[in-house]
Amino acid sequence: MKHGRKTVYLRHQSFLKSHHPYQRLKKAFNGHQETSSSLTPLTGIEVYEKVINIDHTFGKSKKKSSVTNIWKKISIFFDLSYWSRLEVRHCIDVMHVDKNVCDSLIGTLLNINGKTNDGLNARLDLIEMNIRGELTPIEMGKRTYLPPGCYTMSKDEKVIFCQCLKDVKVPQGHSSTVKNLVPMQDLKLIRLKSHDCHILMQ
Amino acid sequence: MYRHSADSIQWMKFDDEFLEFGKESRNIQLCLATDGMNMFGNMSMNHSSGLVLLVIYNLPPGLCMKQKHMMLSMMISNPKQLGTDIDVYLSPLIEDFKLMWDQGVEVFDEFVNETFKMHAMLFCTINDFPAYGNLSGCSVKGHKACPICEEDTTSQ
Chain A touched by B146 (CB under 8 Å) = yes
pTM of the complete model: 0.75
Q: Residues 27-86, chain B: which have Cβ within 8 Å of A? A: 33, 35, 84-85
Angle at B51 between CA B149 and CA A60, to 5 degrees: 65
Q: Which helix (H) or strand (E) holds A45?
A: helix A44-51
Cα(A38)–Cα(A36) distance, rounded to whole angstroms?
A: 7
On the CB side of B10, how many CA atoms lie within 13 Å of its CA?
A: 20
pLDDT digits (tens, 9 = 90+) for B95-152: 888 888 888 888 898 888 989 888 888 888 888 888 888 887 777 777 777 777 766 6
Min Cα separation B155/chain A (Å)? 4
Residues written for chain A: 202
What is the model's pLDDT at position A17? Answer: 72
What is the model's pLDDT at position A63? Answer: 54
Which one, of A125, A127, A107, lies nearest residue A117 by Cα?
A107
- Check B154 against A89: CB less than 8 A apart: no
Min Cα separation B129/chain A (Å)? 6
- % of chain A beyond a pLDDT of 70: 84
φ/ψ (deg, to 5) at B84: -70, -15
What is the model's pLDDT at position A81? Answer: 80
pLDDT at A178 over 70: yes
Chain A touched by B13 (CB under 8 Å) = yes
- Check A86 against B87: CB less than 8 A apart: no
The letter for the amino acid at A12 is H
Running DSSP on this structure, what letter comes out for residue A149? P
The DSSP result for B43-107, as a single string, is S--SSEEEEEEEEETTS-HHHHTSGGGEEEEEEEEESS--GGGHHHHHHHHHHHHHHHHHT-EEE
* Cβ–Cβ under 8 Å, residues B132 and B147: yes
What is the model's pLDDT at position A67? Answer: 58
Residues 6+ apart with CB under 8 A from B1: B7
Q: In the predicted model, what is the mean pLDDT of residues A152-172? A: 84
Cα(B137)–Cα(A70) distance, rounded to whole angstroms?
A: 8
Q: Parallel, antiparallel, or unpaired: how do β-strands A138-140 and A90-92 relate? A: unpaired
Q: Please give the residue of chain A at the shortest CA–CA distance from B13.
A: A86
- ipTM of the predicted structure? 0.74
- Check A1 against B146: CB less than 8 A apart: no
pLDDT digits (tens, 9 = 90+) for A93-146: 888 888 888 888 888 888 887 777 777 777 877 777 777 777 777 777 777 777
Min Cα separation B136/chain A (Å)? 5
What is the model's pLDDT at position B29? Answer: 86
Mean pLDDT check: name the lowest of A118-122, B70-74, B75-79: A118-122
Running DSSP on this structure, what letter comes out for residue B155? B
pLDDT at A66 over 60: no
Min Cα separation A162/chain B (Å)? 30
pLDDT at A65 over 60: no
What is the model's pLDDT at position A116? Answer: 77
Chain B touched by A11 (CB under 8 Å) = yes
Cα(A95)–Cα(A93) distance, rounded to whole angstroms?
A: 6
Chain B touched by A7 (CB under 8 Å) = yes
Residue A59 pLDDT grade (very low, low, confident, very high; cuts 50, 70, 90): low
pLDDT at B75 over 70: yes
Q: Please give the residue of chain A at the shortest CA–CA distance from B126.
A: A91
Q: What share of residues in chain B are helix, strand, coil (percent, to 5)?
A: 35, 30, 30
Q: Look at the alpha carbons of A84, B96, B59, B18 in this order and tell me if their dihedral is positive or negative.
A: positive
Three-class SS state of B150 = helix
Which one, of B92, B89, B53, lies nearest residue B69 by Cα?
B53
Count Cβ atoms below 10 Å from residue A198 Cβ, excluding itself: 17
Three-class SS state of B153 = coil
What is the model's pLDDT at position A194? Answer: 81
pLDDT digits (tens, 9 = 90+) for B15-60: 888 888 888 888 888 888 888 887 777 667 778 888 888 888 888 8
* Cβ–Cβ under 8 Å, residues A72 and B150: no
> Please, what's the b/e burial string for B129-142 (b: 16 or more CB within 10 A of its CB; e: otherwise)?
bebbbbbbbbbbee
What is the model's pLDDT at position B156? Answer: 66
pLDDT digits (tens, 9 = 90+) for A21-56: 777 777 777 666 666 666 677 777 777 777 777 766
